[in-house]
Amino acid sequence: MELENIVANTVLIKAREGGGGNRKGKSKKWKQMLQFPHISLCEELRQTTEKDYHSLCEKQPIGRLLFRQFCDTRPELRRCIKFLDAVADYEVTPDEKRKECGQEILEKYLNPTMYEDLKPENILLDDHGHIRISDLGLAVHIPEGQTIKGRVGTVGYMAPEVVKNERYTLSPDWWALGCLLYEMIEGQSPFQQRKKKIKREEVERLVREVEEEYSSKFSDDAKDLCRLLLAKDPNERLGCLGGGASEVKSHVIFRSINFKRLEAGMQEAPFIPDPQAIYCKDVLDIEQFSTVKGVELEPKDESFYSKVSTGSVSIPWQNEMIESECFQELNVLNPDGSIPPDLDWRGQPSPPPKQGLLQRLFGRQECCGNCSDSDEEPTRL
């Protein structure tokens, strides 16, 4: 693939040469040299590419741009994209400015704050030992006086009203807090057991119908708090009785905490992590909390990759197309709104552009290499 990358990068550099004035460094043939393949030539790629949100709408720059252009046409989605962009900015904000940045996001996009995925994996510690909540991908804005509905979250942490697909406001977050506190004390979530597989249906039945059990690890105050947060009926759950967060903060178990100082970052944390250390007994322990397992390429994967020129689909290449405005000028519809020839299934692929000297030279080298290694007829790039 190195040779293909060299060819692709050479073509890009050649396309951006010359042509002063308003052409911004583009040669006369740049559109022809960088044009997209006809849609009929992409059918196999379309069928074999995994169509998940992260890959198509976040990881791939062109896919990300197209997705945002689509969302920009829908008012209800435009706000979501602005929120995701604000969260991305928050992730790279210096610690001393994070509180102000986070507060602005909460006031602008999450008024109220519906997080929907509170669990240990999403709770991080900064260099000072203070909590940072990560992964706001499921967070949703709830308009004042309205409710929402949806089975979202993580199995074992979803509240009964979510499991039963009922309408709700902020109650599932207080339930998840109860699950989190229970797990911090007991060492396992209230409706699952460590290293024991339980079917999703059974976990949801336990959430709906069965009361959690408490061992001797729980003090009376801790048991009382968890029971109040894990009330099956959201109308009886702590945090949902009209006082919101103040109800939880006023519980006797928190009587020694000054929440004003805590929110200002002035309260000293009981544990300050060493940024140079990995907190596990053994590197293999990482597998216990990581959902990413070993990845092996199958023959069909090798076949797929062999048919894709990495030089033309790599992320740096896509970024280059966007930054040079090549993508913007190529990805346009006809003035009357009809699709261009390269997106018309009824049309035929246009003949490839005439190759330059460098392309012919590299193509000839590739051809010679194939001829020397095999008796089969060589294939051209």
CA 158 to chain CA centroid, Å, is 20
Asked if residue 340 lies in contact with residue 334, where contact means CB atoms within 8 angstroms, the answer is: yes
**Is residue 356 located within the same domain as residue 215?**
no
Which of 144, 159, 166 has its CA nearest to residue 191? Answer: 159
**Is residue 117 located within the same domain as residue 251?**
yes
List, in order, residues 6 or more apart from 304 with CB less than 8 Å away: 48
Please classify residue 308 by burial: count the beta carbons closer than 10 Å to its beta carbon, then call 0-12 exposed, 13-18 middle and 19+ buried: middle
Residue 116 pLDDT exceeds 70: yes
**Is residue 329 located within the same domain as residue 265?**
no
**Is residue 160 located within the same domain as residue 201?**
yes
Q: Is residue 235 part of a domain?
A: yes
Residue 15 pLDDT exceeds 90: no
What's the confidence (pLDDT) of residue 127?
81
**Is residue 135 located within the same domain as residue 205?**
yes
Percentage of the chain surpassing pLDDT 90?
A: 18
**Is residue 314 located within the same domain as residue 273?**
no
Instruction: Please give the Cα distance from 208 to 234 (Å, whole number).
Output: 12
What is the average pLDDT value for the chain, to the nearest integer?
Answer: 75
**Is residue 120 located within the same domain as residue 31?**
no
**Is residue 182 located within the same domain as residue 273?**
yes
List, in order, residues 6 or more apart from 210 with CB less than 8 Å away: 191
Residue 176 pLDDT exceeds 70: yes
**Is residue 130 located within the same domain as residue 273?**
yes
Residue 125's DSSP bridge partners are 131
Residue 138 pLDDT exceeds 80: no
pTM: 0.49
The CATH number assigned to the domain holding 147 equals 1.10.510.10
Please count the other Cβ atoms lying within 10 Å of the Cβ belonging to residue 151. Answer: 10
What's the confidence (pLDDT) of residue 8?
60
Q: Is residue 35 part of a domain?
A: yes
Q: How many domains does the chain have?
A: 2
Q: Which domain holds residue 358?
A: 2-50+309-373
Instruction: Please give the Cα distance from 142 to 111 (Å, whole number).
Output: 7
Q: Is residue 118 part of a domain?
A: yes
Which of 16, 48, 11, 18 has its CA nearest to residue 33? Answer: 11
**Is residue 263 located within the same domain as residue 147?**
yes
Q: Is residue 69 part of a domain?
A: no
**Is residue 359 located within the same domain as residue 240?**
no
Structure confidence by residue, pLDDT tens digits, 226-264: 999 999 999 999 999 888 888 999 999 999 998 888 887
**Is residue 319 located within the same domain as residue 264?**
no
Mean pLDDT to the nearest integer, 62-87: 82
Asked if residue 182 lies in contact with residue 212, where contact means CB atoms within 8 angstroms, the answer is: yes
Residues acting as catalytic residues: 117
Please count the other Cβ atoms lying within 10 Å of the Cβ belonging to residue 141. Answer: 16
Q: Is residue 255 part of a domain?
A: yes
Q: Is residue 75 part of a domain?
A: no
Structure confidence by residue, pLDDT tens digits, 280-332: 655 555 555 544 455 566 676 666 555 544 444 567 777 777 777 777 766 66
Rounded to a whole number, what is the largest CA-CA distance in the chain?
A: 82
Which of 277, 293, 320 delimits the end of a domain?
277
193-227 burial string, b = 16+ CB within 10 Å, else e?
eeeeeeeeeebbebbeeeebebeeebeeebbebbb
Tokens encoding 96: 């001393």
Which of 255, 277, 299 delimits the end of a domain?
277
Which of 259, 277, 295 delimits the end of a domain?
277
Q: Is residue 304 part of a domain?
A: no
| pLDDT band for position 375 (cuts 50, 70, 90) | very low
When comparing pLDDT for 31 and 46, which is higher?
Answer: 46
